[in-house]
Amino acid sequence: MKTVIGIDLGGTNVRVAKVTEDGQILQEFKSPSYSQEGPEKVTSNIISLIKKIDGVKDCVGIGIGVPGPVDTIANVMKMSTNLKDFTNYPLGELLENEFGLPCYLDNDANVAGLAEALLGAGRGEKIVYYITHSTGIGGALVVAGQVISGKNGYAGEVGNIIVTRDGEKINHLNVGAIENLASGLALIKAAQTKIDPKIDTAYELFKLAKENHPVALEIIDRMAFDFASMCSAVGHVVDPAVFVIGGGVSQSHEQYFPLIKKYYQGLVHTGMRDVQFKPAELDEPGILGAAMLPISHGK
């Protein structure tokens, strides 16, 4: 069975693992990522972690998930907010030269989507759309086991899709962008404004909704409609077999997935209404998805 090296590189920690093609983690090492100390420090640390793994030369490739858009042709990050000076830094090339293995980079949401498509809730489906519903909202399109990253690495950045003309301009997002209306942060903000300023988690909002708090129910219902509107925009372009939804907010999926599906069915063509909405299944989508990058490229 093929084995690969998967690297989950974040702003705080980095994890390196040896993984089988069917998703078994054989070895794993973790350390601080040293993200603000420059790319040379980060890279030398990753190399030292990989060298701890038994039988690296027997692996067929290296995959890396990183925070931010990636030019998957040039194999470099296009924006590196959480990793100082990593924009256009040749991390993939350096690891290829060090270990003699092909190396692939992609955005962390994309690799999580790839993991769910190949190993998790989207397994066996040809077209899978993965959405992370957490502090923010992101996504990934996986077709026939391949992540579609786009020309500049921004494919799947659904958080900026406009679902209303109302709202405010926040950071780099459009007015009316779905992330400003339906993310975990947006839910907390709505709950603080309309219910109690002491609410500081989406979980508390969902707990109130379970207790039939009328305003909590209203906030979640509006979120579900806006989320369904975003999904309908995606659906009319790619018509997926399944939307797989992960992230912290999705832990309360039983309370809002049925609403999303109901609203989605009212927003799309009749022939598209059989799409599935599934919660993500994997506990380790970041490291597994990174490992699946070489597998998805046929290595």
Same domain, 267 and 238: yes
**54 found inside a domain:** yes
Tell me the per-residue pLDDT of 136-150, one tens digit each, with 9 for 90 and over.
999 999 999 999 988
**117 found inside a domain:** no
Same domain, 156 and 258: yes
- Domain of residue 39, CATH code: 3.30.420.40
Task: Write down the H helix ranges in the chain.
Answer: 39-50, 91-99, 108-119, 179-182, 184-194, 202-210, 214-238, 253-267, 285-296
**90 found inside a domain:** yes
Same domain, 82 and 127: no
**132 has which bridge partners?**
138, 246
**60 found inside a domain:** yes
Tell me the per-residue pLDDT of 61-74, one tens digit each, with 9 for 90 and over.
999 999 888 999 88
Side-chain-facing half-sphere of 155: CA atoms under 13 Å: 22
**Tokens, residue 128:** 């899978």
CB 129 within 8 A of CB 139: yes
Same domain, 96 and 134: no
Provide the whole-model pTM: 0.92
Span 95-122, mean pLDDT? Answer: 96
CB 281 within 8 A of CB 168: no
Residue 299 clears pLDDT 80, i.e. is over it: no
Tell me the per-residue pLDDT of 174-215, one tens digit each, with 9 for 90 and over.
999 999 999 999 999 999 999 999 999 999 999 999 999 999
CB 297 within 8 A of CB 62: no
**118 found inside a domain:** no
Same domain, 188 and 225: yes
pLDDT value of position 113:
96
pLDDT value of position 298:
82
Same domain, 210 and 229: yes
pLDDT value of position 172:
81
Same domain, 249 and 165: yes
CB 28 within 8 A of CB 15: yes
pLDDT value of position 81:
79
| Rounded Cα–Cα distance for residues 271 and 273 (Å) | 6
| Rounded Cα–Cα distance for residues 29 and 8 (Å) | 11
**Tokens, residue 42:** 């980060």
Same domain, 150 and 103: no
Provide the phi-psi class of 174: left if phi over 0, else alpha when psi is between -120 and 50, else beta.
beta
Range of the domain at 41: 3-112+284-296
Work out how many domains the chain is built from and give that number: 2
212 burial level (CB within 10 Å; 0-12, 13-18, 19+): exposed
CB 66 within 8 A of CB 9: yes
**48 found inside a domain:** yes
Residue 167 clears pLDDT 90, i.e. is over it: no
Same domain, 191 and 288: no
Confidence of residue 164 (pLDDT cuts 50, 70, 90): very high
Tell me the per-residue pLDDT of 72-88, one tens digit each, with 9 for 90 and over.
988 999 888 789 999 99
Same domain, 217 and 247: yes
Tell me the per-residue pLDDT of 14-32, one tens digit each, with 9 for 90 and over.
999 999 999 999 999 999 9
**52 found inside a domain:** yes
